[in-house]
Amino acid sequence: MKLAEHYGHKPTNELPMLFQRILSNSTLDWFRRQKVKNALFSPFSDFQADGEDNDFDILESLSTAEQSPFFDNPETNSERAQTLRAIEGELLLLPNRQREAFLMRYWEDMDVAETATAMGCSEGSVKTHCSRAVQALSKALKGKEIKL
């Protein structure tokens, strides 16, 4: 819906990249909201064990509270680390300008104008470099059977 509402006027060739960005941001936002919701709206009785004395400190309990099993799962952590290593390896294989544009736009969260200024090129060049980098990374990761 966000893609259609906010980016319907964009050229068709930019839509897949915009969709990936919207999906990634929405997913991260959801996890952030869940983390905050679980931390802020948990009853105090969930943190205090039965039989404890009255020197209960919520901040101490929150700092040592268990995280979601999704984040503590060693298998998931290992898979995530392997995926990140594969992505980093493929990034190193990209041509310098594509890698530079990709990292500034998607890892440093710079907009097109900021990236163009930093790279000393036009905004169109930044878009071209980013598009080619995304296509190359997508092809390479699909070849390694990595799905993001």
Structure tokens at 140: 């390479």
Domain residue limits, the chain: 95-148
Q: How confident is the model at residue 132 (pLDDT cuts 50, 70, 90)?
A: very high
Distance (Å, rounded) from C-alpha 28 to C-alpha 20? 12
Does pLDDT of 81 surpass 90? no
Q: Tell me the pTM.
A: 0.50
- Please state, rounded to an integer, the average pLDDT across all residues of the chain: 78
User: Is residue 96 within 8 Å of residue 104, measured between CB atoms?
Assistant: no
The CATH architecture annotation of domain 95-148 reads: Orthogonal Bundle (1.10)
Contacts made by residues 141-144, CB under 8 angstroms, sequence distance 24+ = 141/86, 141/87, 141/90, 144/86
